[in-house]
Amino acid sequence: MTKTHCPYCSLQCGMSLERAGRELEVQPWAEFPVNEGALCRKGWTATGLRGHRERLTTPLVRDRATGELRAAGWEEALDLVAGRLRDLRSSYGADAVAVFGGGGLTNEKAYQLGKLARVALGTSQVDYNGRWCMSSAASASNRAFGIDRGLPFPLADIEHTDVLVLVGSNLVETMPPAARHLDRLRENGGHVVVIDPRRTPTADRADTFLQPVPGTDLPIALGLLHLLDAAGAVDEEYVAARTTGWEDVRRAAASWWPERVERVTGVDAAQLRDMGTLLAGAAKVTVLTARGAEQHAQGTDTVLAWIDVALALGMPGRPNAGYGCLTGQGNGQGGREHGQKADQLPGYRMIDDPVAREHVARVWGVPVESVPGKGRSAYELLDALGTDGGPKALLVFGSNIVVSAPNATHVRSRLDDLDLLVVSDIVLSETAAIADVVLPVTQWAEETGTMTNLEGRVILRQQAVAPPEGVRSDLDVMAGLAARLGHDFATDPEEVFAELGRASAGGRADYSEITYDRIREEHGVFWAGPRLFAEAFAHDDGRARFVAVEHRGPAEPVDAAYPLHLTTGRVLAQYQSGAQTRRVRELPDDGPFVELHPMLAQRIGAYDGEPVVITTRRGELKAPARVVDTIRPDTVFVPFHWVGANRLTNDALDPSSRMPEFKVCACAVTMVVSRLGAGAPRTSTTDAPVEVRAKRASKPAQARA
């Protein structure tokens, strides 16, 4: 039996893998504290890709004569890739080659990928899909606290808070084993507040539910700051002793009285006042944000506003209270700490810091002047592919860009303009299917490596079975390419982790004292300890920063042509782009749908289960309607696990985090055809038909995350 961890979300639930004949079975690991043996349906079925008929087991190379992918040997494939990379660098310079990573890669792979880009390829053009996960919360936390760790305390601490505020999170469906903490909190007499445009299963477990217009979480925070200040509920002693900047925030919040908040957000002023009273009277308050609040062109400011609320109440650094972010991807935390982001080096060092560059160059054994500077962020990198002055080649590890990128039709056109696209994956994902070279790599149960979960707990995934013949690890792939370019890279994950420790030593995320043996003995090791900020924040003066922000609204407001708000998110049975979960037969795959309110369905003549077309300025999607009374009448929801949803989303970027605005854009919805077969299709701008045709969906509302 092998102790390891789930391959999906940032909980990184502990599990045991046991052989049963030729099968590999998932068993509980009750001692691991994050999930105590519990798993969601994705975790219990995590071995479903083992032996799958679509599993890649040989490299594929696109035949120039036929345009089809054909089987190739590893030496041929790696020689081809290295040769074309050399040619492109010689013709256009080092930045003609780009690297795109993923938030599901182990710490060892994330570290080695950044090193591959900057040492073997010499390119500044490296970033990863975690930029689209919690980068806005990371940007805000660095600014407010001086450090970015999703949760600066163990997740179980929320059981003992008095009031928990969840902003844009549906953890009951996106992280089901974490739902136990909500139940225990309420059993302990605590109060749960959920803020979401959709009444999700998480909202059903809440004591207070606020249902704002998408993209208006920030004014709610400003309204609460206004109320707390007016009520004398600001912890003035804490503010004076441990923070700076409160007076600017006080002035910014002064104009956000409850009635103004109601006009902007749709949240009733009386509800806001009740919530203000609740927070003012609580000894311990915890605020958690997630993608619903963060994936906006103003996501960083939104998170800062909610951090301001927590600071005004005097909560960060106190036991069982404070602010945190619910990281999404499996290694969303560690993946951004060790160098696969355009602006960072290992240890969460910034790439433009001369001291950081000198330290990392010394560990790498290269001249400091050879380490490239800051490159393009994830979407900006993809937007530049194939253009004059942009990268001509892209290496992709652990990401399915065709499905997951915003404004995906445009991104697909950029991929098509490349001279070379190389994808490492376990199956022929939508991105791998258009690649010039596809490299088959190991999946989670076939390799060893560390991950860092949402708490900052470094855990160890341990190899349980040998990979299929012909499959190599990502570390082997990187080493093979590096060797052909004149560099020697390690392939043993423990050796790579030790080097990562040396490179991160002294950085914000210092792993230098963590070893595989310690992780095994302690069920994971928290970098910087399990709880932060008790004595001081990470700024030089030890104080947290209040930051005054103002509401700008979505980058693309609704108008007569596109009168509805579109928001996207996850569903219970699927994960991220669905490349893995859509291939696990035990997980239901109903395909995309358009969730809309009965009032909207009535207005356009739509029936539950029948097709509608949702249109934005970037594209359209035809999918069945799911008519539910759990969503706002002015809002529609589409899950993003299938091709189509992100053809609709807006690529407007947050100026600080460079996060795209996945969570809101303007759209219109059209009925494809009337059940009665008469008349032209109605759209979301037409008058309501006389007959009421909408009904409540038989399926539960799904996840916004």
Mean local confidence (pLDDT), 661-665: 98
CATH code given to domain 564-671: 2.40.40.20
What is the number of other CB atoms lying within 10 angstroms of the CB of residue 634? Answer: 17
Name the DSSP letter for residue 335: G
CA distance linking residue 585 with residue 563, whole number of Å: 38
CATH code given to domain 138-326: 3.40.228.10
Q: Above 90 in pLDDT, residue 700?
A: no
pLDDT at 673 (0 to 100): 66
Tell me the CA distances in angstroms from 550 to 219, 248, 250, 259, 445, one per residue in order.
8, 11, 12, 17, 47
Tell me the CA distances in angstroms from 140 to 296, 300, 305, 323, 468, one per residue in order.
13, 5, 9, 11, 43
CA distance linking residue 532 with residue 135, whole number of Å: 20
What pLDDT, in 10s, does the model give residues 412-433?
A: 999 999 999 999 999 999 999 9
Pick the closest to residue 284 from 246, 323, 249, 250 (CA basis): 323
Mean local confidence (pLDDT), 309-323: 98
pLDDT at 683 (0 to 100): 52
- Tracing tokens 């160098």 back to the chain, one arrives at 339
Q: H helices within 322-437, ranges in order?
A: 354-364, 378-384, 401-404, 408-416
Cα torsion at 172, 615, 132, 179 (round to 10°)?
A: 0
What pLDDT, in 10s, does the model give residues 248-287?
A: 999 999 999 999 999 999 999 999 999 999 999 999 999 9
Pick the closest to residue 625 from 643, 606, 599, 641 (CA basis): 606
For the chain, the distance separating the N- and C-terminal CA atoms, rounded to the nearest angstrom, is 33
CA distance linking residue 644 with residue 647, whole number of Å: 5
CA distance linking residue 681 with residue 704, whole number of Å: 29
> Backbone phi, then psi, for 249, in 5-degree steps?
-70, -40
Tell me the CA distances in angstroms from 488 to 78, 198, 475, 481, 495, one per residue in order.
15, 51, 12, 10, 13
Kind and range of the H or E run holding 407: none
pLDDT at 702 (0 to 100): 36
Query: pTM of the predicted model, to two decimals?
Result: 0.95
- Tracing tokens 């299963």 back to the chain, one arrives at 201
What pLDDT, in 10s, does the model give residues 126-177?
A: 999 999 998 999 999 999 999 999 999 999 999 999 999 999 999 999 999 9
Domain boundaries, the chain: 2-49, 60-133+331-526, 138-326, 564-671
20 — pLDDT class (breaks 50, 70, 90): confident
- Tracing tokens 């209270």 back to the chain, one arrives at 321
Give, in degrees to the nearest 5, the angle at Cα 12 between 11 and 18: 140
Mean local confidence (pLDDT), 75-92: 98
What is the number of other CB atoms lying within 10 angstroms of the CB of residue 262? Answer: 18
CA distance linking residue 167 with residue 241, whole number of Å: 28
How is domain 60-133+331-526 classified at the CATH fold level? Rossmann fold (3.40.50)
CATH code given to domain 2-49: 3.30.200.210
Based on DSSP, count helices (H) and strands (E) in the chain, helices before strands: 22, 28
364 — pLDDT class (breaks 50, 70, 90): very high
What pLDDT, in 10s, does the model give residues 483-516?
A: 999 999 999 999 999 999 999 999 999 999 999 9
pLDDT, the chain, mean: 94
Q: H helices within 40-73, ranges in order?
A: 41-44
Pick the closest to residue 109 from 447, 561, 418, 390 (CA basis): 447
Mean local confidence (pLDDT), 658-674: 92
22 — pLDDT class (breaks 50, 70, 90): confident
